[in-house]
A and B are shown apart, each in its own frame.
Chain A
Amino acid sequence: MSRRVVVTGIGAIAPNGEGADAFFQNCLDGVFSAAPVPEHWHHYGQLSSQVWAPLPSIDYSTYGVTRVDKMQLDPTGIMGIAGGVQALSQAGIATTCINERKGMHRLERIDPMQAGVYIGTGIGGLTSLIGSQANHVLTPVKKSCRDITRKINGDCAEAAAAVSDLAGSLRMPPRFNPFIVSMTMPNACAGTLGIRFGIKGPNETTCHACAAGTIALGHAFNSVKAGHITMALAGGVEYLTDEFGGIYRGFDIAGTLASSSHSPDSVNRPFDRDRSGFLFAEGGCSILVLEELSHALERGAEPVAEILGFAESFDAHSLMMMEPSGEQIERMFHSLLQQAGLTPDSIDYINTHGTGTELNDRVEAETIGRTFRKKPLIGATKSLIGHTLGASGALATSFTALALKHQKLHACKNLDNPEHDLNFVHTPGSYEIQNAIVQSFAFGGHNAALLMRRYAE
């Protein structure tokens, strides 16, 4: 008999909520996070977009994150721990501390050799590297400023004060972090989770930009489905915010960010005629527990949703632009449906990539229309939380798993004038959904999708 794979626990950190339940409810309630970018970012260069989606303030000590963890880990590792703790708790998997100094735990009733970690991230610990690099570059500059101030102070107090002010304006962390190598490497979050929870099976990091989280979940699904492991911690994590706004500027200068004249609350409008790009999020994380069904049921877990299939394809077209015909996306859809033995008309809901860029939304809407016609309900979780890149597919999967369980969907925020004639969700509330697709597309040319079903015995 074919092995079935279910989601049994969900952790989530998004700009509009901390914890899976809060994130889900806030999406249903249309809670939205957008604000002007930090004022000092404008000092470094002209920005076309002025808005971002900051994360809520989170007390990570409630997830066992210590001061030592914060010294040694990039924010992605810290968010990963929090997401992992949330997911394991919701899955009913107890943890026992076995080494307090190293923060190592054992998962109760889980065979560590039969468990794996699969984490997607777009940029890994780039933020930490930027901070230490700033210290590296600016420390001698500050020293030179101090030397100059001292030399000229007697002759020209005004110039000395100006140089002193310049030194004071140089932003940098107080030290070049001795852990910077392990903070920066993209596999740090997956490694941290494996160490934290003593998971000794496959430990995989997927770096597929905005599709990384979806692909990580897909690879975890494949491993559980194939019988290589019985349980996985899987999802995506991203932290995109450096002190200088340089990462933001990279996306801004590429013309990908929402830059219309709308107010912060309405600038983010996937699939709307007035869309102008995506809303940059400070970061996000979602970690899920995937489990083989009988393994989950034997330990008394309650499945949230079932995963039926995963498919991916590659455009082989451009590192920064989607292939306009969407041919490889449609091929991916057909592969996904074939795996699950379903037809297009059996899909009730699609949680789209839905970034709000001109090309993404057009190609995505056209490929959905050609494959699925107007039947499935269409949602865009990014309309509420902005774009969390490598975490986005995992957050969309988490929302969709909970939507299948609770039979509720959020509305597409700011979708006042849809450019395409699809069955967009305009009103939050109760809907009948049995089968749902979550899809992600990424810089590089990656396309990935999961097919999920409402759990039934």
Chain B
Amino acid sequence: MSHWENHPEIAKQVSDVIQEVLRVEPARIQPATKISDDLGADSLDIVSLLMALEEAFGQNISDEQAKNLVTVDDVIRFAVDHLASSSESK
């Protein structure tokens, strides 16, 4: 199962942020959707998306971490992992 199916609430949050920043129809945002290739995001769009995701999840995203966020499901997995580690640390 994809992280999307396992974590529908976080998936919705991620989808909402992508819709808001990239102005794409919700139907185009699927787990395997590649953010740059499939949604046409250029490098400045990606920076804006990362900033919006940081705001949404209260987590900084390093350059190294950002390189691994290729698909929508990658972003959901990142949010799940870091939200979990964040709540554990509290």
Contacts and interface: CB of A to CB of B under 8 A. Distances in A.
B71 to A, nearest CB: 19
Contacts of B20: 66-68
A175 B51 contact: yes
B23 A72 contact: no
Contacts of A72: 48
Contacts of B45: 101
Contacts of A63: none
Contacts of A341: none
Nearest to A69: B48
A100 B20 CA distance: 10
B80 interface: no
B21 interface: yes
B48 A175 contact: no
A71 interface: yes
A96 to B, nearest CB: 16
A178 interface: yes
B22 interface: yes
Contact of A71 (B22, B52, B60): B52
Contacts of B23: 100-101
Interface residues of A, number: 11
A452 B23 CA distance: 44
B51 A178 contact: yes
Contacts of B60: 175
Interface in B4-30: 20-23
B63 to A, nearest CB: 10
Tier of interface size on chain B = 10 to 19
B47 A178 contact: yes
Given A67-B52, A68-B52, A179 B21 contact: no
B19 to A, nearest CB: 11
B80 to A, nearest CB: 22
A104 B12 CA distance: 27
Contacts of A174: 54
Interface in B25-72: 45, 47-48, 51-52, 54, 60
A345 to B, nearest CB: 57
Nearest to B45: A101
A179 B47 contact: yes
Contacts of B51: 71, 175, 178
A179 B46 CA distance: 12
Given A101-B45, A175-B60, A179-B47, A68 B21 contact: yes
Interface string A48-82: 00000000000000000011100110000000000
Contacts of B21: 68
Query: Of B47, B48, B52, B60, which is in contact with the most chain A CB atoms at under 10 Å from its CB?
Result: B48
A249 B21 CA distance: 37
Contacts of A175: 51, 54, 60
A178 B45 CA distance: 12
Interface string A164-176: 0000000000110
Interface in A86-143: 100-101
Interface of B: 20-23, 45, 47-48, 51-52, 54, 60
Given A101-B22, A178-B47, 8 more contacts: A68-B20, A68-B21, A68-B48, A71-B48, A71-B52, A174-B54, A178-B51, A179-B47
